[in-house]
Amino acid sequence: MAVRVQEADFDVGTELAGLTDGNKRIGGLAVFVGLVREMHVREGYHRDRIDALTLEHYPGMTEAALQEIEAEANRRWPLEATLIVHRYGRMEPGERIVLVAVGSPHREAAFEACEFLVDWLKTKAPFWKLEETPAGDQWVGAHEGDDTAAARWEKK
């Protein structure tokens, strides 16, 4: 289990190799990489070009929140390896923002836990996005779809 919050970019291949090397119980590795998009997409419309994104976070609380989410995934699924790397600072379209990787003996757990981690980190970890657009800087508002996605993992 590992969580990192950093300004620097990461190399996906190096990270995945580091996660699985030496653990031969892993049969499947599910990976999500979030990238900065060059446009705002909401309700299927493309609008508002984005020149760059600045991610602000709450040092200390961010790491704790990500560790809690990671621990929850490990309670729910039989996982052999988990990694969350989330960047902060200014990034331009095409740059990597976040890496979530989950290794498990079987693919079902890896896919599900990876989706769970992405859904929960969007709504439970203290990050905020500021977009630079041709119309000026705009703070990104919470997206209802993200809340819906996160809510489906709440235990009834």
Partner 1 sequence: MKVRYFAWMKRTVGLPEEEITPPAGIETVGDLIVWLRGRSPGHAEALAEGAAFGAAVDQRTATFDVKLAGAREVAFFPPFTGG
Q: Is 125 in the site for partner 1 (CB under 8 A)?
A: yes
Pairing state between β 81-87 and 2-6: parallel
Among 26, 30, 50, 55, binds partner 1 (CB under 8 A): 55
Among 142, 145, 148, 151, binds partner 1 (CB under 8 A): 142
Q: According to the binding rule CB under 8 A, does residue 118 interact with partner 1?
A: yes
Q: Which of residues 85-114 bind partner 1 (CB under 8 A)?
A: 86, 97-98
Distance CA 149, CA 156 (A): 15
Strand partners, 52: 132
Q: Nearest CA to 136 among 50, 68, 62, 54?
A: 50
d(CA 83, CA 31): 9
Q: Which is nearer to partner 1, 26 or 65 (CB)?
A: 65
User: Does position 58 bind partner 1 by CB under 8 A?
Assistant: yes
Query: Interior CA angle at 6 toward 34 and 110, to 5°?
Result: 45
- Which residues make up the interface to partner 1 (CB under 8 A)? 34, 55-58, 60-61, 64-65, 86, 97-98, 118, 121-130, 139-143, 146
